Amino acid sequence: MRAAALLLALPLLGACERLSDLGRPPAMAGIENPTADPNWRQVSMPMPALQAPPAAANSLWRPGSRTFLRDQRAAQPGDLVTVLVSIQDQAQLSNETERERQGSDTLGIPRLLGLESSWTRIFPNTIDPTRLVQTNGEQNASGSGSIRRNETVTLRVAATVVQVLPNGNLVVAGRQQVRVNSELRDLTVSGIIRPQDIASDNTVRHDRLAEARIAYGGRGTISDMQRPRVGQELLDILLPF
String of DSSP letters for 141-173: EEEEEEEEEEEEEEEEEEEEEEEE-TTS-EEEE
In this prediction, the residues of the chain whose per-residue pLDDT falls under 70 are: 1-19, 21-23, 51-71, 112-127, 129-132, 241
> Which pLDDT value is given to residue 36?
86
Per-residue pLDDT reduced to its tens digit, 12-62: 566 666 667 666 777 777 778 888 888 888 888 777 777 666 666 666 666
Other beta carbons within 10 angstroms of residue 223's beta carbon come to 15
Taking CA 95 as the corner, what is the angle to CA 93 and CA 97, rounded to the nearest 5 degrees? 175
Crossing angle (nearest 10°) for helices 2-20 and 230-238: 140
pLDDT of residue 76: 86
Strand partners, 161: 172
Q: Give per-residue pLDDT as tens, 101-110.
A: 888 877 777 7
pLDDT cut 90: percent of the chain above it = 17
Query: Which amino acid appears at position 201 of this protein?
Result: D
DSSP string, 194-224: -GGGS-TTSEEEGGG-EEEEEEEEEEEHHHH
Phi, psi values for residue 236, rounded to 5° = -65, -30
Question: From CA 203, how far away is CA 182, in angstroms rounded?
Answer: 31
Q: Are 156 and 82 in contact (CB under 8 A)?
A: yes
DSSP 104-145: EEEE--S-STTGGGGHHHHS-TT--GGGSEEEEEEEEEEEEE
235 φ/ψ angles, rounded to the nearest 5 degrees? -65, -35
For residue 198, report the phi and psi dihedrals to the nearest 5 degrees. Answer: -80, 125
pLDDT for the residue 173:
92
CB neighbours (10 Å) of residue 104?
9
Q: Where are the domains of the chain?
A: 101-146
Residue 237 has φ and ψ, to the nearest 5°, of -80, -40
Alpha-helical (H) ranges within the chain are 2-20, 119-122, 221-226, 230-238
